[in-house]
Amino acid sequence: MNLTFSAEERAFEKEVRDYIAESLTPEMKRATALTPSVFSDPDIGMAWQRALHKKGWGAPGWPVDHGGPDWTPAQRWIFEAECARAGVPNVNVMGVKMVGPVIIGFGSPEQKNFYLPRILSGEDYWCQGYSEPGSGSDLSSLKTRAVRDGDDYIINGTKIWTTHAHHANRMFALVRTNEGERQQDGISFILIDMKTPGITTRPILTIGGDHEVNQVFFDDVRVPVANRVGEEGKGWTYGKYLLEFERGSGIASAKLREALKTISDLAGSEVTGRAIEDPDIAIRMSEVEVDIDALEMTELRVLSALQTGQNPGAVSSLIKLRVSEIRQAVTRLGVDVIGQDGLAVEPARPFYRLNHEPAIPEELLPVVPEYLNGRAYTIFGGSSEIQRDIIAKMVLGL
């Protein structure tokens, strides 16, 4: 057992570090640091996606014949860790990490040929049509209907919490094509062009003041049957496959460590009146750091199992739960570190393109919005309560 990487892996680490150093512009870095929502806006995010694609690193998890770089689990770890350390933009995952793997796994050859290159290049920008106003954690109760009419489906209903629907040109959605015995039956997985007549989008501001999510309405929206992925009525299976990606995809510890470092640097600086000298802040900082150490070790245990071809087991729910809680702990600490400067609300967005001088130092602007928006971490992608249900059932066999 050891924690050290091989000479080849070290060389790869240097290659990644060097490429990031030459491609990541100061503008991208600053914009990322000043973005208090989950994902970077597309101008920033897609610029980075294009830079990665140019190098052949646009889709680390994809098989090599679809444009993946054919990395080992250790290489993926190193790549993610270097990206986190450098503070690269948070590319919206809906394309590369969410719909991409479903199309690769279950799509037709035509779908693969058409969509995958456009995801890699950033030409298409995707959003996810899963949740509905009446279907949150109980996702399979969804009611948006797709009724067959010749070679088309006619879709009526509404989707909500749709991240970046206002930027996206495509949506992958779960829609009801049949009434099955169980509510999971009769759901299909459909790819929708957002410019199709009958689609309207309503912005939803989160409590941090950011426009990241939306509600999308479908009013007799005509979508070709050819846009269905896989079999009719099997959408739940594909959607669940994708949710596993959403839960387990990450190597989250490196990013959390950087987020803590940002707060720690603020706490050590005059800009917060050296908050670190408050022993309560100092100790909570250590508590969070130790929690990140534990998470990192768990992620490495999973990585090591994957490296040797073993099944890491049902740990993705454990990881999702801890990641969301630790993220919130970091943002909570941030609010306490900046103290009374947290009172200043800056409603304009984005913070990196304000046309006025903000009332508080620029680097403090995202701290409170990050905490407020971050309450969603334990809610989206299956709330913490759902994760505990899953752990009880899948890990503990209850």
Partner 1 sequence: MDLTLSDEQRLLRESADRFVAETFTSEHRKKAANDPLGYSPAIWKQFAELGWLALPISEAHGGLGGGAIEIGLLMEAFGRGLVSEPFLSTVVIGAALVAECGTEAQQQVILPKVAEGALTLAFAHSERAARFDLGHVDTTATKTVDGWLLSGSKIAVLDGASANQIIVSARVANANGASGKLCLFLVPAGAPGLTLRDYARLGGGRGCNLDLRDLQLPADALLGDGQDVLPAIETVVDRAMAALGAEAVGIMQTLLDTTLEYTKIRKQFGRPLSANQVIRHRLADVAMQVDEARSMALRAALMANAEPVARSRAASGAKAKIGKCARFVAEQAVQLHGAMGVTEELDIGAYFKRLLAFDTLFGGSAHHYRRHAALSGRAHA
Interaction site with partner 1 (CB under 8 A): 1-5, 9, 74, 77, 276-277, 279, 282-283, 285-287, 289-291, 293-295, 297-298, 300-301, 303-305, 307-308, 310, 315, 318, 321-322, 385, 387-389, 391-392, 395-398
Which one, 282 or 343, has the nearer CB to partner 1?
A: 282
Question: Taking the complex as a whole, how short is the minimal distance between the CB of residue 378 and partner 1, in angstroms?
Answer: 13
| 80, 276, 210, 143: CA torsion to nearest 10 | 60
By the 8 A CB rule, do 236 and 185 touch? Answer: yes
Instruction: Provide the 3-class DSSP secondary structure of residue 202.
Output: strand
Question: Taking the complex as a whole, how short is the minimal distance between the CB of residue 210 and partner 1, in angstroms?
Answer: 30
Question: Taking the complex as a whole, how short is the minimal distance between the CB of residue 393 and partner 1, in angstroms?
Answer: 8
Q: Can you state the angle between helices 253-267 and 316-338, rounded to 10 degrees?
A: 10
Which tokens sit at 58? 């646009």
Local structure of residue 122 (DSSP, 8 states): T
Other beta carbons within 10 Å of 68: 19
Measure the CA–CA gap between 43 and 39, rounded to whole angstroms. 11
**Diameter over CA atoms, the chain:** 70
Measure the CA–CA gap between 274 and 166, rounded to whole angstroms. 40
Measure the CA–CA gap between 83 and 77, rounded to whole angstroms. 10
Which one, 46 or 302, has the nearer CB to partner 1?
A: 302
Question: Taking the complex as a whole, how short is the minimal distance between the CB of residue 324 and partner 1, in angstroms?
Answer: 12
Whether residue 246 lies in the annotated active site: yes
Nearest CA-CA partner of 330 in 391, 257, 225: 257
By the 8 A CB rule, do 277 and 270 touch? Answer: no
Question: Taking the complex as a whole, how short is the minimal distance between the CB of residue 91 and partner 1, in angstroms?
Answer: 25
Which one, 159 or 257, has the nearer CB to partner 1?
A: 257
Question: Taking the complex as a whole, how short is the minimal distance between the CB of residue 322 and partner 1, in angstroms?
Answer: 7
Which tokens sit at 309? 């071809």
Which one, 318 or 376, has the nearer CB to partner 1?
A: 318
Which listed residue (82, 132, 212, 246) is catalytic? 246
Which one, 308 or 311, has the nearer CB to partner 1?
A: 308
Local structure of residue 392 (DSSP, 8 states): I
By the 8 A CB rule, do 48 and 121 touch? Answer: no
| 100, 105, 115, 244: CA torsion to nearest 10 | -20
- Letter for the amino acid at 286? S
Measure the CA–CA gap between 248 and 246, rounded to whole angstroms. 6
Which one, 228 or 322, has the nearer CB to partner 1?
A: 322
Question: Taking the complex as a whole, how short is the minimal distance between the CB of residue 291 and partner 1, in angstroms?
Answer: 7
Instruction: Provide the 3-class DSSP secondary structure of residue 328.
Output: helix
Which one, 197 or 397, has the nearer CB to partner 1?
A: 397
Residues with a catalytic annotation lie at: 246
